Structure 1
Amino acid sequence: MKTKYVLFTFLGTIGAALTACEDHQLSPNASFPERINFVAPRQYPEGIAYSAQLDRFIVSSITQGKLGTVDINGNYADLITPPELISSMGVRVADGHILVCNSDQGVSIKSTPQTATKTAELLVFNLNTLQLERRTDLDDLYNSPRHLANDLAIQPDGTVYVTDSFAPVIYKITSTGQASVLVENPLFSSATFGLNGIVYHPNGYLIVAQTGAGKLYKIDLKNNNAISEVDKLPNLPGDGLTLLNQDLYVVTGSGSRVAQVRSTDDWKTASIIKTDEIGYSQATTNVAVNGSVYTLNARIGEIGAAMGNASLLQAKEYSIQKFK
């Protein structure tokens, strides 16, 4: 049985801390190249965010259970290496806090039989002190033999939504830290990876990728969390999602391309208006900075190939690619 911890050490409430926009839209002092190569031994960085405060990208690590930074010149540095973080997945920065999904695919240096494929947590760190301020357990909320917290989206009022790739659920964590299952549906089930990337749309709904089914779904938060498929799209096995100027940028094709997807009817239907296939390899997700989208080439395919033998995961070279 996995040991559970929920930690609260805020001076105030996280609701006050997370009511601002995500800190990844603008960095006026930075001139970004089209491609940033960086070296980080055995990082396997599944998630990416950008902190204007740090003036750096923040990347996660499936194998090391830590967070690191990458500047525009490709210099990598460890940022946070907490013992509680087994395998860091999706990451966001919002108003002085770093939020990260904590999971365990069994290939982390911190993996144990008690936590492997059984972990779904949300960890919140103070961006100034780098201290853990909240640890919210999610996997106990839904009875499933397997769990993997994958990605997260933040609503302006501070509510956080987290996808589980191994259980057919989306979790909800309020601004005061109360966790629950937002929705559970067989549509989200998959024999491989189910729910993956997720974004919050300012019109009051979520858009989520179901990788195994190759579909996008809309969850209408203003209509009793009604679930509907985004129609008229081809098979689109999405990983990470980023919303920029009302268009959705979907990492797809096993990380070999990014599709720009647009809707004219509030995401009842959508179409792919552009695909960028240059410079992507085993990519996972992306982030919007200065009006552009930057995608993380994370060597994600090596994770699946090495299941059961983490010693095979020795890569050190990664990159961040601009959508063109």
Structure 2
Amino acid sequence: MLSQQKKNLAVTLLALAASVSAGAGPAAAAPAAPSAHTAASHARISTAFTLPGERVYPEGIAADPRTGAVYVGSYADGTVYRALPGRSRAEVFLPAGTDGRRTANGLRVDGRGRLWVTDSTAGVTVYDTRSGTRLARFDVPGTGPRFVNDLTITPDGTAYLTDSIRAVVYRVTRAQLATGGGVLQPAYDLTPTLTRLPDRRFSLNGITADPRGRYLLTVDMVAGELFRIDLCSGAITRVALEGGNLRNGDGIDLAADGTLRVVHNTTNTLTRWRTNGDGTRARLTRTVTDPSLQIPTTLAHTRGRTLVVRSQFDRGGPAGNNGDPTAFTIAEVRGL
């Protein structure tokens, strides 16, 4: 994603696609040409629920495994929506501008039922999912460019967040969370490891944690590469990708069985990868490309189904308006 001021950079993903194409060659191409074992066949795509509002432009999603509730964030104004089990329409959980939030990008529900919401221009805020009460807030210090994008939470309760402009990963520990807030400090700087590309302005996007807490995986959306961060040694290495790449890679999710699911935004593509035991290699096993994904930005795999955010940023981003109050939806994908 990209933006410093949402009004000035309304067409978020389309502008990013242009920068990717300029900096990394044919980035708008599909992640990989499907082969016999990666054919995009028989995936079932439907609508899970709708989001109220004419300018939602959703970006992030999080599922609460304890309750079945699903939370979705609006890139346009920072609204956070909640879809309850069995409901076909979400409701507003946190109104636009809550706690000064301009955007709602990365969302996660941790093991204690707390909802984490990133604001690309500021940092991350943590809420009680029962009452909506703010529990903590952490901001990037200073006034320099930043884009706090996605986050993940390890089994010990530590949160890790990507910054797409600074190419760093921030960390918030359980002890820091207990203080109620503070500043975000980089835990890992991937700048020296990234592939050097001309006119690069953006880099890290989606991030996910090994369910056993050994490492993180984060995607360089411009070069299409995946990086592994060892949480014990701090070593940062490229993951060996077999059968494709992660260009336009946005949200990613690593399951306990080693399945890695990836959203490729501007190509309307989802991919599934099989990782090895230590996350150093990943092999492409499935590719699904369908225009009905409507510029997907991220996903949540929960209760046997994959929920995918249809951002529809190609309609004009936060400054656009198609006049249809039911136009914004979350997709359900079976067979990914």
Same structural fold, with TM-score higher than 0.5 when normalized by the shorter chain? yes
Q: Which residue of structure 1 lines up, in the alignment, with residue 332 of structure 2?
A: 321
Pair 230,42 (structure 1): closer, same or farther in 2 beyond 3 Å: same
Q: Residues of 2 paired with 1:61 and 1:253: CA distance?
A: 16
For 2:91 and 2:319, the matched residues in 1 are separated by: 23
Counterpart of 1:181 in structure 2 is 186
Matched, 1:229 2:238: yes
Q: Is the 8 A contact 2:49 2:83 kept in 1?
A: no
Question: What displacement does 1:273 show?
Answer: 0.5
| Larger RCO of the pair (alpha carbons < 8 Å, separation 6+) | 2
Question: What is aligned with 2:10?
Answer: none
**Residue 121 of structure 1 contacts residue 139 of structure 1 at CA under 8 Å; is this kept in 2?**
no
| 1:301/1:270 CA distance change after superposition, 3 Å | same
Instruction: Show the 5 A alignment for 1:19-30.
Output: none
RMSD between aligned residues: 2.4
User: Normalising by structure 1, what TM-score?
Assistant: 0.76
Do residues 88 (structure 1) and 100 (structure 2) align? no
Distance in 2 of aligned mates of 1:158 and 1:200: 11
Distance 1:125 1:173 in 2: 15
Displacement of 1:56: 2.7
How far did 1:301 drift? 3.6
Aligned residues: 269
Q: Kindly tell me: are residues 77 and 263 of structure 1, through their superposed partners in 2, closer, same or farther at Cα, counting changes over 3 Å?
A: same
Question: Mean Cα displacement is larger for which, 46-55 or 94-103?
Answer: 46-55
Letter of the structure 2 residue corresponding to residue 160 of structure 1: A
Q: Are 1:258 and 1:323, in contact at CA under 8 Å, matched by a contact in 2? A: no
**Cα distance, 1:296 vs. partner?**
1.2
Structure having the higher helix fraction is 2
Q: Counterpart of 2:280 in structure 1: which amino acid?
A: K
Gaps of 5+ in 1: 1-32, 104-118
Counterpart in 2 of 1:63? 76
> In structure 2, which of residues 297, 309, 326 is the aligned counterpart of residue 296 of structure 1?
309
In structure 2, stretches of 5+ residues that fail to align are 1-44, 177-181
- Residues 153 and 220 (structure 1 numbering): CA distance in 2 closer, same or farther, change over 3 Å? same
Map 1:74-153 → 2, pairs under 5 A: 74-81=88-95, 82-94=98-110, 95-103=112-120, 119-140=121-142, 145-153=144-152
Residue 91 of structure 2 aligns with an amino acid whose one-letter code is A
Contact kept? 1:239, 1:250, Cα under 8 Å: yes
Name 2:17's counterpart in structure 1.
none
Question: Does residue 312 in structure 1 map to residue 323 in structure 2?
Answer: no
Distance 1:126 1:265 in 2: 35
Q: 1:288-320 deviations in whole A, cap 9, x for unaligned? A: 111332211111344xx55xxx53245641232
Q: Per-residue deviation at 1:85?
A: 1.6
Do 2:55 and 2:320's aligned partners in 1 also have CA atoms closer than 8 Å? Answer: no
CA distance in 1, matches of 2:154, 2:166: 22
